[in-house]
Amino acid sequence: MATVYIPSQWRDLTGAVDRLELPGRNLREIASGLESRFPGIAERLVEGEAIAAGLAASIDGAIASRGMYSPVEPTSEIHFLPAIGGG
């Protein structure tokens, strides 16, 4: 199962749980698993079928490029971060 790190600003929803293991083939399934476990997270993470504006997901150290359909491996480490651009 993938290891999902909970951003500190979501821990009001997780009872201070800072990471957990979840099954899922892609971010959409991970988000669904998070919402089932901690209702309210999806409202912060997802807008329509996309990652919410201003947020990004890092899978194994790389920013996911396929949004909620980004593939996740059973050994993956997932972080949710502020979105970055560049100059």
Would you count residue 87 as binding another protein (CB under 8 A)?
A: yes
Q: Any residues with CB less than 8 A from the CB of 29 and at least 6 apart, and which?
A: 23, 72
Give whole-number Cα distances, 57 to 1, 45, 53, in Å. Answer: 17, 10, 12
**Binding string, 8-47, against another protein, x = CB under 8 A?**
xxx-x------------------------------xxx-x
Would you count residue 69 as binding another protein (CB under 8 A)?
A: no
Q: Which two tokens stand for residue 59?
A: 């899978």
Nearer to another protein, 33 or 76 (CB): 76
